[in-house]
Amino acid sequence: MSALKIKKGATSHSAYNLRPTFSDVVERHTLAVLVENEPGVLARVIGLFSGRGYNIDSLTVAEVDHTGHLSRITIVTSGTPQVIEQIKAQLGRIVSVHDVHDLTVEGASVERELAMFKVTGTGDKRVEALRLADIFRASVVDSTLESFVFEITGAPDKIDAFADLMRPLGLTDVARTGVAALSRGE
Amino acid sequence: MIVQALIDQGVDTVFGYPGGAVLPIYDEIHQQNAIRHILVRHEQGAVHAAEGYARSTGKPGVVIVTSGPGATNAVTGLTDALMDSIPIIVLTGQVPTFMIGSDAFQEADTVGITRPCTKHNWLVKETDALSGVLHEAFHVATQGRPGPVLVDIPKDVQFATGTYNAPKPSVSHYQPKVKGDMEEITELVAAMEKAKKPIFYTGGGVINSGPAASQLLRELVKATGFPITSTLMGLGCYPASGENWLGMLGMHGLYQANMAMHDCDLMINIGARFDDRITGRIDAFSPKSTKAHIDIDPSSINKVIKTDIPIVGDVGHVLEDILKVWKSRGRKTNSEALAKWWAQIEKWKAIDCLKFKQTGKTIKPQHALVRLEELTKQHDRYICTEVGQHQMWAAQYLGFEDPNRWMTSGGLGTMGYGFPASIGVQMAHPDALVINVAGEASWLMNMQEMGTAVQYRLPVKQFILNNERLGMVRQWQELLHGERYSQSWSEALPDFVKLAEAFRAKGIICSDPADLDDAIMEMINHDGPVIFDCLVEKHENCFPMIPSGKAHNEMLLGEAQTQGVIDSKGSVLV
Q: Which of A4-8, B94-98, B273-277, B301-305 has the least mean pLDDT? A: A4-8
- Known catalytic residue: B472? yes
* B253, B348 contact by CB (below 8 A): no
Any B CB within 8 A of A24 CB: no
* A107, A185 contact by CB (below 8 A): yes
Task: Pick from B111, B150, B299, B308 the residue to mutate for testing the A interface (most A CBs within 10 Å).
Answer: B299
CB-CB under 8 Å, A98 with B173: yes
Question: Cα torsion at B237, B240, B245, B246 (round to 10°)?
Answer: 110
Task: Please say whether the dihedral angle defined by the alpha carbons of residues B387, B252, B310 and B403, taken in this order, is positive or negative.
Answer: negative
Taking only the tens place, the pLDDT of each residue in B492-551 is 999 999 999 999 999 999 999 999 999 999 999 999 999 999 999 999 999 999 988 888
Instruction: Considering only the beta carbons, identify the residue of A4, A22, A96 that sits closest to B298.
Output: A4
Q: Is the pLDDT of residue B44 over 80?
A: yes
B185, containing H or E segment:
helix B182-194
Task: Pick from A87, A93, A99, A102 the residue to mutate for testing the B interface (most B CBs within 10 Å).
Answer: A93
* Closest residue on chain B to A18 (Cα): B302
Spatial distance between the Cα atoms of A139 and A141, rounded to a whole number of angstroms: 6
Provide mean pLDDT across the span B110-129. 97
Instruction: Considering only the beta carbons, identify the residue of A13, A47, A95 that sits closest to B174.
Output: A95
3-state secondary structure A91-151: HHCCCCEEEEEECCCCCCEEEEEEEEEEEECCCHHHHHHHHHHHHCCCEEEEECCCEEEEE
The Cα of B187 is separated from the nearest Cα of chain A by a number of Å equal to: 9
CB-CB under 8 Å, A4 with B177: yes
- Known catalytic residue: B59? no
Residues of A in contact with B175 (CB under 8 A): 1
Q: Which whole-number Å values give the CA distances from B397 to B253, B371, B417, in the listed order?
A: 11, 10, 20
Taking only the tens place, the pLDDT of each residue in B149-194 is 999 999 999 999 999 999 987 678 899 999 999 999 999 999 999 9
Length of chain A: 186
Provide mean pLDDT across the span B50-54. 98
Taking only the tens place, the pLDDT of each residue in B235-260 is 999 999 999 999 999 999 999 999 99
CB-CB under 8 Å, B111 with A40: yes
User: A148 has which bridge partners?
Assistant: A119, A143
Q: What is the predicted pLDDT for the residue at B564?
A: 52
Q: Is the pLDDT of residue B94 over 80?
A: yes
Q: Which of B98, B105, B159, B401 is catalytic?
A: B105
User: A115 has which bridge partners?
Assistant: A152, A176
Amino acid at B92: T
Q: Which of B106, B215, B358, B455 is catalytic?
A: B106
Provide mean pLDDT across the span B442-459. 98
Q: What is the predicted pLDDT for the residue at B170?
A: 67
Residues of B in contact with A16 (CB under 8 A): 298, 301-302, 310
Provide mean pLDDT across the span B193-204. 97
Any B CB within 8 A of A95 CB: yes
The Cα of B250 is separated from the nearest Cα of chain A by a number of Å equal to: 23
* B279, B285 contact by CB (below 8 A): yes
Q: Is the pLDDT of residue A18 over 70?
A: no
* B93, B22 contact by CB (below 8 A): yes
Q: What is the predicted pLDDT for the residue at B547?
A: 86
DSSP string, B70-123: HHHHTHHHHHHHHHTT--EEEEEEE--GGGTTS--TT---HHHHHGGGSSEEEE
Provide mean pLDDT across the span B556-566. 62
- Known catalytic residue: B119? no
Q: What is the predicted pLDDT for the residue at B347?
A: 96
- Known catalytic residue: B222? no
Q: Tell me the residues of B at the A interface, defined by beta carbons under 8 Å apart.
A: 111-112, 115-116, 119-120, 123, 140, 144-145, 173-177, 181, 187, 297-299, 301-303, 306-310, 312
Task: Pick from B124, B183, B306, B309 the residue to mutate for testing the A interface (most A CBs within 10 Å).
Answer: B306
Taking only the tens place, the pLDDT of each residue in B366-375 is 999 999 999 9
CB-CB under 8 Å, B181 with A15: yes
Any B CB within 8 A of A1 CB: yes
CB-CB under 8 Å, B119 with A95: yes
Q: Residue B212 phi/psi, 5° resolution?
A: -65, -35
CB-CB under 8 Å, B115 with A40: yes
Residue burial A107-130, b: 16+ Cβ < 10 Å; e: rest: eebebebbbbbbbbbeeeebebbb
Q: Is A140 exposed, middle or buried (0-12, 13-18, 19+ CB in 10 A)?
A: middle
Taking only the tens place, the pLDDT of each residue in A52-90 is 999 999 999 999 999 999 999 999 999 999 999 999 999
Spatial distance between the Cα atoms of B568 and A47, rounded to a whole number of angstroms: 33
Q: What is the predicted pLDDT for the residue at B568?
A: 61
Spatial distance between the Cα atoms of A61 and A44, rounded to a whole number of angstroms: 13
Spatial distance between the Cα atoms of A86 and A93, rounded to a whole number of angstroms: 11
Residues of A in contact with B307 (CB under 8 A): 14, 17
Taking only the tens place, the pLDDT of each residue in B209-243 is 999 999 999 999 999 999 999 999 999 999 999 99
**Banded pLDDT at B566 (limits 50, 70, 90):** low
Q: Which of B248, B445, B472, B545 is catalytic?
A: B472
CB-CB under 8 Å, A1 with B177: yes
Q: Which whole-number Å values give the CA distances from B322 to A160, B50, B197, B456, in the listed order?
A: 54, 34, 18, 46
Q: What is the predicted pLDDT for the residue at A186?
A: 78
* Closest residue on chain A to B305 (Cα): A22
Residue B412: how many other CB atoms lie within 10 Å: 18
Q: What is the predicted pLDDT for the residue at B571?
A: 63
CB-CB under 8 Å, B116 with A93: no
A61, containing H or E segment:
strand A58-65
Residues of A in contact with B116 (CB under 8 A): 47, 51
User: A102 has which bridge partners?
Assistant: A31
**Banded pLDDT at A9 (limits 50, 70, 90):** very low
Q: What's the complex ipTM?
A: 0.89
Q: Is the pLDDT of residue A3 over 50?
A: no
Taking only the tens place, the pLDDT of each residue in A111-158 is 999 999 999 999 999 999 999 999 999 999 999 999 999 999 999 999
Q: Mean pLDDT across chain B, nearest whole number? A: 95
Provide mean pLDDT across the span B326-345. 96
